[in-house]
Each structure stands twice: as C-alpha cells, then as structure tokens.
Structure 1
Amino acid sequence: MRMRFLGSTSEAGACPTLYETDRGTIVVQGLQVSDPEALADLRDVLDGETAVEVPRELLTEIAARVLPEITATAFQGSAPAQPATG
C-alpha cells in the first residue's frame, strides 16, 4: 500500500495527520486513545484495530480541500441525492 500526505494541523509535521491510500482509503495518524472509559464507548473493535484522536479542524480542513476534487470525478453524471422524507 502506498500513501499520499493530505495534511496536518501540526506545525512540526507530526501527528495528527491524514493520508490517502492507493486503495481508496484514508489513514489517520494521531495519538492512540488509551482512556479506559473512552475505549469502553467504542463498538465492534476487531483484533488489530485501535482508536486515534484527531482534532475536528483537521478533518474539516482536509475535507474542504480533497472532497471537491473527489466529488467532481466520482459523481460525474450521477443524479443529485434527494433528501429523505420521513
């Protein structure tokens, strides 16, 4: 697997950081969550999985930069989503 750096909110270039993989997934680099109470709130954690914490600003900043280019290519020719009716 190869990864492409998407961005970080760290001035030193350390974590937290987001990467895009050549498999179409996102890798999150951040501090591992170790608080027992927080870990107890997780659902269906598989062997080999862990939780990392990243600031909301990192996700919104990267989404604003990356999603427009993904949306432009991934959804060409598709009809816009219709709002759910309840």
Structure 2
Amino acid sequence: MKVTKLVSTCDIKDCPTIYATDRGTLLVQGETPTDHGLQIPSHETVVEIPEELVLDLIRKGLRGA
C-alpha cells in the first residue's frame, strides 16, 4: 500500500495526521481514547484527532498540499 501524508499537526512522527492511500482510502493517526463508551468490533479501532486537522484538510483540498 502506498501512503501519502495529507495534513498533520506537526512534522514529528507521533502527531495526529491524515494520510491518503493508493486504495482510495484514508488513514488517520491519533490518540486511542479509552473513555468513549462505544462498542467497537475487535477488528476495528477508534482514534481521536483535533477538529482543526480536518478543517485544515478541507482548506487544502482532499489531496492535501
């Protein structure tokens, strides 16, 4: 899978980031919250990212900059 960084909150590898793949999907890197109260299937997960990250992606366009 080819992964391209679209938008991030910083230039360090451990910050919330949104990536595009060559499969037509997005990967989201963020904190794993434990207090969400959701029932997530064992083969899935949920991550938390700042709203500003999504707004920045929208401003830059889906393919980032």
Query: TM-score when scaled to structure 2?
Result: 0.79
What's the secondary structure of 1:32's corresponding residue?
coil
Aligned CA RMSD, in angstroms, stands at 1.8
Unaligned runs of 5+ in 1: 70-86
Q: Does 1:60 align with 2:55?
A: yes
Secondary structure at the aligned position of 2:41 is classed as: coil
The structure, 1 or 2, with the larger RCO (C-alpha pairs under 8 Å, 6+ apart) is 2
The corresponding residue for 2:19 is 19
1:44-83 equivalent positions in 2, closer than 5 A: 45-67=40-62
Moved more, 23-32 or 5-14: 5-14
1:34 aligns with 2:34: yes
- The sequence identity of aligned pairs, in percent, is 41
TM-score (norm 1): 0.62
- Higher Rg of the two aligned structures: 1
* Structure holding more helix per residue: 1
Counterparts of 1:24 and 1:30, CA distance in 2: 20
Paired residue secondary structure (2:5): strand
